[in-house]
Chain A
Amino acid sequence: MKLKWALLAMIFTVAAVLSGCEPLLVLDPKGPQAKVQADDIMLSIWIMSGIVIAVFAILVFVLVKYRASKQSADYEPPHIEGNMLVEAICIGVPIIIVIFLSVMSVKSNYEVEATPKGYEGQEPVVIYASSSNWKWHFSYPEEGIETVNYVNIPAGRPLEFKLYSYGPITSFWIPQLGGQKYAMADMVTTLHLAADEPGELMGRNANFSGAGFAENTFDVQAMSQTDFDKWVKEVHDTAKPITEEKFNELLQPGHLGRSTYTGTHLEFSPAPEHNHGSADSDKDSEEGEHHHESSDSEKETDHSHH
């Protein structure tokens, strides 16, 4: 047993030293959504550590106390069927923990699926992010700009990424701004993000999409609104317009560097019509689902109470 503890201690020390140099990406949020998620993660780590320590402690206690080598040869363990009170506690405590985590989880779900907290009043920047093997295309319909493999965003404004794919399912992920969401070929999904401060961030496709998947990354540059406006103007002055021919060329499988165009491919190759998961998506079909699911979840909660 001692060996194991020494080992575990060693591993965690090594891990702490190795990771201590820089904070882990996910736990170093640069936006409100990532902050919600990092807070959830840290809180659950603390609660879970409590559970793990409790189980470890009970295990060590019984193993030390009831070892055969510690007992007389004629000790005969008793026959115990079970005890209602003990089992009620063993069910009750986990249920309380699960209810607490459920409330937290549901609350966070609604937060990450809506305009970030503190950014509600502002006009969001809408950016269409579409993936093709193995690139990301960013279209700014309002600004009339299209970029490949990099995205510039104004800090301090809510962002609405509209995601879809020209190939396999991919997953759009900027860890320090917030968790990922799938981009698929037959529908558009919406990811609500915001950056608190200007800065350079890493973005990537997180969902395996074939041979070029590992390098399927993009650069994110959060900048002040003034710098963003300046950049938009500069693009309009210098970049060439995107044409259907050029866009089809960009869609060919492979890796590309960064490039910039005026206009967007949405004009000749619009995004799939079916919308999903956005707060403002078509109400009718969503309402039907709501009804059905809420009755289900009521049943489930009832279940866990008994």
Chain B
Amino acid sequence: MDFFDRFAVPHPSFLIYASMVAIGLTVIAVLVGITYFKKWDYLWREWLTTVDHKRIGIMYLISALLMLFRGGVDAIMLRAQLAIPDNKLLESQHYNEVFSTHGVVMILFMAMPFIMFFFNFVVPLQIGARDVAFPRLNAISFWLFFMGAMLFNISFVIGGSPDAGWTSYFPLAGNDFSTSVGSNYYMIAIQIAGIGTLMTGINFITTIFKMRAPGMKLMQMPMFTWSALISNLIIVFAFPVLTVLLAMGTMDRLFDTKFFAIGDGGSDMLWANLFWVWGHPEVYILILPAFGLFSEIISTFARRNLYGYKSMVASMVVISAFSFFVWAHHFFTMGQGALANSFFSITTMAIAVPTGVKIFNWLFTLWKGKIEFTTPMLYAMHFLPLFTLGGVTGVMLAMSAADYQYHNTMFLVAHFHNVIIPGVVYAMLGGLTYYWPKMFGFMLNERIGKWTVWLMSIGFVLAFIPMYITGLDGQARRMYTYSEATGFGPLNMVAFIGAGIMAISFALLVYNIYYSVRYSPRNIGNDPWNARTLEWATHTPVPEYNFAVMPQVKSTEAFWDAKKNGHEIFKGKIEKIHMPNSSGLPFIMSCIFFVFGFSMIFSIWPLAIISLLGILGCLVYRSFEKDHGHYIPVEEIEETETKLRGAK
């Protein structure tokens, strides 16, 4: 029985048992459903083994939406617990686990795959490529991310969730103070997903540098592709730090090494430093693609070219460089002295300058435009004022002496939600609405979409603005409860109501998808938004090979040029197209990674060794495998093209 004890949840409650049952039933229902409708073969052929960047993108999207739901439920639980003083809804340990998973899930398993979805779906189409540089590696990236995410998500029903915050500071996350396997899940699940992310970085840098359409110079790339390039460069520089950090944390927890231990030469602040050396650039990995999407959306619906293209690119380059010189602003209060704090205070504030340039450029893009308030545009127009508010509070936090008062309070919590929600989440949802027709051939309902945006902004303001106030009134973050005498009660109730309104807004988004699947018209053509860049020049739905003829590009807005100035994008005749083969290996290897991770988390060494050998076996097999891809013959392409043109 000793062996099985380790899988028990250390702090069981009714909610957890209910979730176990729900998860079990859902899994059974899905398996039975697939079998009943005889979809196993379809699933394996078209999805599990695919190397098509569009399909991989859609799988990232589905994962991100699922994780948004998971992280959102966590958020509602947190706000409900804090809604009234001395609330007994969650106990302290449970609350700690919920906010720890909320942070990890939202940043690493919701926002990251969401931007990966955009990288995958949009970048190759925007630069006129037929796939990414390394399609098979791309599939491995996705499946490693997916297995990492799933591994992390089972923690709350098997063995217990991490309970040391999403930052997982040692020594709190060490064996002495975090006794369940929760922090093992943190170290290993994020490691597996992180390896996938690192590969994505390499893949997309190569794709963008080597696979642009003939004629497209670097300074003619659409702004989203620029943001993707810089974001992936940051990934390649920052993620190795995370890899090393998690490896050290894993060794501290599993093998009793002393990197972050109390005494024996260990250093607790080493974790905090390394974490934020990765963690701060990570924030820009998320926000730059969001900026890129807003640039596309604003330019499309202002019916104007993007103002200050060059300064937009330059500002992103400056932001990415500075992002590596600000990490200590996450712990001004560590006691490193006035000089070090002054350095990091100034570098942090300096980032406001390039960010401000971007805000002004968007405003000038609207100037003399012909602004149409579609749903994506509405997201962008709510983003601008709300993000500005989040940005200026960031400058306030950058003032290190004052930060001694903001640090660890709800003021900080308000600030980073104020940049991440209007910044990243609005970009993701706006971008999703924008690219939806390209993916699925019909549009999301505009009326429901606009309701979603308004409700989300109202909910957001109610949920997070009060936190600025309670923070200044001394409410520390991560407190599972507070007494009535503190006076935090009313504003926390307002925040809870705001969170509820945001939940309604997300429900509306889901309803919109259902509604639009049923009722949206299907004959919308290739370019429903009257857009400007290459991805709208090809058919909807996009054929497997993306472009039958390689596009020719002469400006930043190739498709707009074609529409307005008669520029000919598709010159030449159709030739046979070389495409990569599907492969089951990425999926199989990632499954073995899942087993490896699980056995490491629970210290089941024989299984860990066997699965490690399995992973090595997959790598060896791939090294000797001969796979030269396949050609799509001209007749087949012509047939597809005729069919797609007819569908218009």
Chain A positions within 8 Å of B, measured between CB atoms, are 3-4, 7-8, 11, 14-15, 18-19, 21-22, 24-27, 34, 36-38, 40-41, 44-45, 48, 51-52, 55-56, 58-59, 62-63, 66-68, 71, 75-82, 86-87, 90-91, 94-95, 98, 101-102, 104-106, 108-114, 133, 163, 167-169, 171, 173, 175, 178-182, 184-187, 189-190, 202, 204-214, 276-277, 286, 289-290, 293-294, 296-297, 300-301, 303-304
State which residues 406-437 of B face A: CB under 8 Å: 407-409
- In the complex, which range does the number of interface residues on chain B fall in? 35 or more
Question: B370 to A71, Cβ gap below 8 A?
Answer: yes
Q: How far is the CB of B624 from chain A (nearest CB, A)?
A: 50
Show 11 residue pairs from A and B whose CB-CB distance is below 8 angstroms, ordered by the A residue. Answer: A7-B458, A22-B487, A40-B399, A55-B363, A59-B384, A62-B367, A66-B368, A77-B369, A90-B357, A173-B476, A208-B172
Query: Nearest CB to that of B409 among chain A residues?
Result: A206
Contacts of A163 in B (CB 8 A): 335
Query: Nearest CB to that of B96 among chain A residues?
Result: A211
Chain B positions within 8 Å of A, measured between CB atoms, are 92-93, 96, 163-165, 169, 171-172, 176-178, 262-263, 266-269, 272, 302-305, 307-311, 325, 331, 333-343, 345-347, 349-350, 352-353, 356-357, 359-361, 363-364, 366-373, 381, 384-385, 388-389, 392-393, 395-396, 398-405, 407-409, 454, 457-458, 461-462, 465-466, 469, 472-474, 476-482, 487, 490-491, 494
Query: Nearest CB to that of B347 among chain A residues?
Result: A300
Question: B353 to A179, Cβ gap below 8 A?
Answer: no
Query: Nearest CB to that of B491 among chain A residues?
Result: A18
Most A CB contacts (10 A, CB to CB) among B178, B336, B405, B487 go to: B405
Residue in contact with A105 in the complex, picked from B178, B305, B349, B385, CB distance below 8 Å? B349
Separation of A185 and B478 alpha carbons in the complex (Å): 21
* Known contacts A15-B466, A55-B363, A108 near B399 by CB under 8 Å: yes
Query: Nearest CB to that of A286 among chain B residues?
Result: B337
Separation of A178 and B405 alpha carbons in the complex (Å): 7
Separation of A78 and B304 alpha carbons in the complex (Å): 7
Residue in contact with B399 in the complex, picked from A18, A44, A95, CB distance below 8 Å? A44
Question: B462 to A11, Cβ gap below 8 A?
Answer: yes
- Is chain A's interface secondary structure helix, strand, loop, or mixed overall? helix
Separation of A43 and B334 alpha carbons in the complex (Å): 25
Contacts of A56 in B (CB 8 A): 385, 388
Contacts of A68 in B (CB 8 A): 303, 370-372
Q: How far is the CB of B299 from chain A (nearest CB, A)?
A: 10
Q: How far is the CB of A16 from chain B (nearest CB, A)?
A: 9
* Known contacts A101-B395, A102-B349, A182 near B400 by CB under 8 Å: no
Q: How far is the CB of B411 from chain A (nearest CB, A)?
A: 9
Residue in contact with A109 in the complex, picked from B262, B341, B372, B395, CB distance below 8 Å? B341
Residue in contact with B350 in the complex, picked from A63, A294, A304, CB distance below 8 Å? A304
Question: A58 to B363, Cβ gap below 8 A?
Answer: yes
Question: A276 to B401, Cβ gap below 8 A?
Answer: no
Which 7 A-B pairs rank lowest in CB-CB distance, beginning with the nearest? A179-B404, A277-B335, A189-B335, A108-B401, A48-B392, A168-B172, A206-B408
Contacts of B357 in A (CB 8 A): 87, 90-91, 94
Separation of A19 and B369 alpha carbons in the complex (Å): 42
